[in-house]
Amino acid sequence: MLYEWLAADSGLFNLLNYITFRTGAAVVTAFLVSVLFGDIIINVLRARQGKGQPIRDLSLEQQLSKRGTPTMGGFIIWLGLLAGVVLWADLKNPYIWVTLFVTISYALLGFFDDYAKVTKQTDAGVSAKVRLLAGFGIAALACAFIMGLHGAHTPAGHAEWGALNPLAEQIAALAPKTSVTPADPAFAGGVAVPFVNNYFFPLGMFFILFGMIVVVGSANAVNFTDGLDGLAIVPMTFAAAAYAMIAYLTGNFVFADYLGIQFTPGTGELAVLLSAMIGAGMGFLWYNAYPAKVFMGDTGSLGLGGMLGVVAVAAKHEFALVVVGGLFVLEAASVILQISWFKITRRLTGEGKRIFLMAPLHHHFQKKNWPETRVVARFWILSVLFALAGLATLKLR
């Protein structure tokens, strides 16, 4: 942790004690690392993959022209992200580690899927069942750990249960020395109700199941969105920026108290990690902008979506993800609706019917002869509006 070594100096380096300063440093560091090493990674991927990512024949000329483009470009993102986190984040913070655990685990799961597709030259990688089982297992471990971190902040956590829990000491160290109010007893196993001040609907141990659905759903929604050059990474950076703000506010007692949201000590540090993701994402876009030199693949999209989901769970703002990540929700919903309606109509009439010309949603507009750049640009605009709307909900209480 570079900042810890330098921050010991009470002079100029005292700036490093401020999360806001380190978020900016993480953005710049991650961006530079991603851009500087991007070409090297792309050349290695191209040499290793030969024909590149298999492209499904969707009867779209724009898609077929992408044949030969290497995949697994998510490695560019992860290199920049890790550089930003290692240099500027507080690595003693447990929320950083649980988020990295989910991110890296999902990235590895995506890598195995990409590797199977490239080696077999087919669009069928790891089976959907295996991916879901592994994804839910990773999410279960992470959500159970987060529930323990939240529990250490409740009255019970500070007393009987907290005295026996090694996580309680870490939480106490993260909290300010003054004006700390323990959370409601339902906080650890509860879900924040939108637009209501400091109320958590108690789920108990079912909170883990709820968190699993949030994390896995987020990962797959981002994965569905990754289908055009630059389409997934820009909305992801907007969503990450919104959640960086949310994490910072929930981790700051003064702001949390003013907004009427539960103060969660330690989550503010996630703003540094998400800022590193933003910088790395912009560095990746340097190579992924139309026409893309590399695709992020599942190596990137699953890890990014998993990261967003686990941060939402950690910051106790799971429902805000539906708004902040509205574009991802639309893309995932279009796939679910398309498949469901096709099966229902086939069962009733013997002939399956479709709602969209093609799913996910971005392919529907391609089928309507929209140029790829128009689809991407308009989806970017929507993602900005969704992120801003999500932030606006913080004060609607």
Q: How far apart are CA 140 and CA 136, in angstroms?
A: 6
Number of domains in the chain: 1
Instruction: Decide: 52 and 67 in contact? Cβ < 8 Å.
Output: yes
pLDDT higher than threshold 60 for residue 192 = yes
| 157 phi/psi in degrees, rounded to 5 | -65, -35
Question: Element (H or E) spanning 380, and its range?
Answer: helix 372-392
pTM over 0.75: yes
The tokens of 196 are what?
């209501």
Q: Does position 191 have pLDDT exceeding 80, yes or no?
A: yes
The answer to whether the CB of 299 falls within 8 A of the CB of 107 is yes
**Cα–Cα distance between 95 and 244 in angstroms, integer?**
13
Give the domain extent around 221. 2-395
- Give the CA angle between residues 214, 174, 180 to the nearest 5°: 95
CA–CA dist 303, 102 (Å, integer) = 7
Q: Which residues pair with 202 in a beta bridge?
A: 190
> pLDDT > 70: what percent of the chain?
82
Q: Who contacts 337 (Cβ-Cβ below 8 Å, separation ≥6)?
A: 355, 356, 359
Instruction: Provide mean pLDDT across the span 175-184.
Output: 49
The residue type of 392 is A
Joined tokens for residue 387 = 């992120």
| Percent of the chain whose predicted confidence (pLDDT) is above 90 | 58
For the stretch 6-28, pLDDT in tens is 555 555 566 677 888 899 999 99
Please determine, for residue 334, whether its predicted confidence score (pLDDT) is greater than 90.
yes
Q: Alpha carbon of 194 to those of 185, 265, 370, 371: distances in Å?
A: 18, 20, 37, 38
Nearest to residue 187, comparing CAs of 146, 240, 136, 151? Answer: 151
Residue 365 has pLDDT above 60, yes or no: yes
pLDDT tens digits for 220-260?
999 999 989 999 999 999 999 999 999 999 988 888 888 87
* Helix (H/G/I), strand (E/B), else coil: 201: strand
